[in-house]
Amino acid sequence: MDADTRSALMIAAARACLGTRFRHQGRQRRHGLDCLGLVVVAARAAGIALIDSRCYSRQPSPSDFQYYVLANRLVKANKPAPGTVGVFDFGSGPQHVALFTPSGMIHAYAPSRKVVEHGFGAPWTDQLSQVFSLPSS
């Protein structure tokens, strides 16, 4: 499967979750999702089996994100593109992830209490710390 098809499948799966309630460490649409859970669900829809762990607190530490990057062989990308995953720093290291779409980003966002999609502008552009592509399988 080529990268464009993978990205389209991931974005479609994430969009199918819009409105799903936020649930810390959630991994199922019917029970709720957190930001990492949404990426896991989207990746699975594209045939990508990520190594997953729920050993993180509500305020994840930088080492939690480092684990995911290394364990899943994520590839650093130069800039946001559809199907890439953005890692966001709210002031104390990486704490949030979102899936980029052609028009912005989709993420399970605790302050919104649900999965949302919106444009990628301020303040998100200022808080973006890294962008990654998922492995092909």
pLDDT tens sequence across 36-51: 899 999 999 999 988 8
Confidence category of residue 18, pLDDT binned at 50, 70, 90? very high
pTM: 0.91
Topology classification of domain 3-133: endopeptidase fold (from Nostoc punctiforme) (3.90.1720)
| Residues 45-86 pLDDT 10s | 999 988 877 666 677 666 777 777 777 788 899 999 999 999
pLDDT at 68 (0 to 100): 72
Closest by CA to 94, choosing from 120, 133, 128, 118, is: 128
Domain segments of the chain as ranges: 3-133
